[in-house]
Amino acid sequence: MLSKNIEAALNKQIRIEAESSQTYLSMACWAEISGLEGIAQFMFAQSDEERQHMLKLIKYVNERGGHAQITDLKAPKTTYETFKGMFEELYKHEIFVSDSINELVHITFSEKDYATHNFLQWYVAEQIEEEATAKTILDKINLIGDDRAGLYLFDRDLQQIAITKPVV
């Protein structure tokens, strides 16, 4: 059985994961209308992945005797100056999500809810991967600079990642 404090913290994380999905979806839309099909496909896949993270939390809360809450979401940004700026925002967002997961883990540890603490370890590992992916993408973007041919190849590479990335 979840404590009310942990249930509230998990519900907050459900909202964050839902907002993450919406953020990626908005980025996908912007990339698609900007002619960046590979980036768009990558972002659509990331949006789906974030939704799966949310659903996993919902199931956990409900199975542990809590009540998962679906709340209003903050609307994501819909336009970006550059694709580089978009990825910089994505990286900052992933750091924010990691901080949120870490705070949640801290709460479970302080309340001695070891089952939820154990459950959240998957999210901790996932966030390490998400941050690393975003940082690697930013590093590649910085290597490309203003090279249009490099952007074309980068866009194609991200399309391949989107096609081959397994769904969580």
CA angle in degrees (0–180, nearest 5) for 145-86-134: 80
Closest CA to 131 of 48, 20, 10, 9: 20
Q: Is 53 known to sit in a ligand binding site?
A: yes
Q: Is 127 known to sit in a ligand binding site?
A: yes
Closest CA to 61 of 92, 106, 104, 25: 104
Q: Is 94 known to sit in a ligand binding site?
A: yes
**Are 109 and 131 spatial neighbours (Cβ–Cβ below 8 Å)?**
no
Q: Is 121 known to sit in a ligand binding site?
A: no
**Are 40 and 28 spatial neighbours (Cβ–Cβ below 8 Å)?**
yes
Which amino acids are annotated as binding site, given as ranges? 17, 50, 53, 94, 127
Which amino acids are annotated as binding site for Fe cation, given as ranges? 17, 50, 53, 94, 127
